[in-house]
Amino acid sequence: MRVLLLEDDEALSDRIARALRAENFAVDVAADGEDGAHLGETETYDVAVLDIGLPTLDGVSVLQQWRAAQRRMPVLILTARDGWSDKVRGFKAGADDYLVKPFRIEELVMRLRALVRRAAGHSTSALSCGSLSFDAQTGHFEKDGIPVRLTALEWRVLSCLILRMEAVVERLDLLERVYEGDAEVDSNSLEVIIGRLRRKIGAEMIETLRGRGYRLTAGGAA
């Protein structure tokens, strides 16, 4: 899962980014509205965290710009402005959630996970594909009831696949959701991650569709 974080308070931005990366999210950061608006329009994100009081372009204007450009990723507004009129303005601009500073990092993480899950069309946090289960609220995977230990990259790939289980996820789509914008990516890195996941959850659960991408399936290869 890849997050776009727009926050001009450097200390707070660093704290949020570290916490999200510790929960296996890929995080891109922007400190002003124009840079953030550009990233949101040109890159692929599962969710965005947006401060209202940004330099160069305020957060509500950024959000309006994204929605006008048909960018549909869920957006959580994170701001010290707790007035009802501020919340109404944010939701009218296209926000999906609103969290007021000060806040607990744990709550932010849970809200972001919920936004990503709902955007993928899942109404509950308990997901399963055959013997593989995923708690979308905690981020934990289990295979046959036993926890699956995953690296951050493995978790990002597997979470993308299980949120769209039984559907083909294109290779480029996976790459865009797994790596941060400044990451150096080897040409075969995704295949290496898929190989490790197959060893951990069963080779039959991840199908390769040549020229298209991958599919997580409970039924094995067709």
Residue 203, classed as helix, strand or coil, is helix
Which tens digit of pLDDT belongs to each residue from 160-179?
999 999 999 999 999 998 98
pLDDT at 134: 97
Tokens of 66: 């994204």
CATH topology of domain 126-216: Arc Repressor Mutant, subunit A (1.10.10)
8 A C-beta contact, residue 161 and residue 155: no
Find the DSSP H helices in the chain. 10-22, 33-42, 59-68, 84-93, 105-119, 152-163, 171-178, 189-201
Residue bearing tokens 């990002």: 156
- Give the count of beta carbons closer than 10 Å to the beta carbon of residue 30: 23
How many Å separate Cα 208 from the centre of its chain?
23
Of all residues in the chain, what percent carry a pLDDT higher than 90?
A: 85
Instruction: Please state whether 166 falls in left (phi above 0), alpha (psi between -120 and 50) or beta.
Output: left
The answer to whether the predicted template modeling score (pTM) of the entire model surpasses 0.75 is yes
Per CATH, the number for 2-119 is 3.40.50.2300
pLDDT at 221: 40
Question: What residue ranges of the chain are covered by domains with CATH 1.10.10.10?
Answer: 126-216
Given a cut of 90, whether residue 187 has pLDDT beyond it is no
Virtual torsion, Cα 75, 81, 82, 84, nearest 10 deg = -80
8 A C-beta contact, residue 25 and residue 2: yes
**Residue 131 identity (one-letter amino acid):** S
Which tens digit of pLDDT belongs to each residue from 103-162?
999 999 999 999 999 999 999 999 999 999 999 999 999 999 999 999 999 999 999 999
pLDDT at 23: 95
Given a cut of 70, whether residue 183 has pLDDT beyond it is yes
Which tens digit of pLDDT belongs to each residue from 190-200?
999 999 999 99
- Residues 213 and 92: their CA atoms lie apart, in Å, by 36
- Residues 53 and 79: their CA atoms lie apart, in Å, by 8
- Give the count of beta carbons closer than 10 Å to the beta carbon of residue 134: 25
Question: What residue ranges of the chain are covered by domains with CATH 3.40.50.2300?
Answer: 2-119
DSSP at 144: T
- Residues 22 and 209: their CA atoms lie apart, in Å, by 32
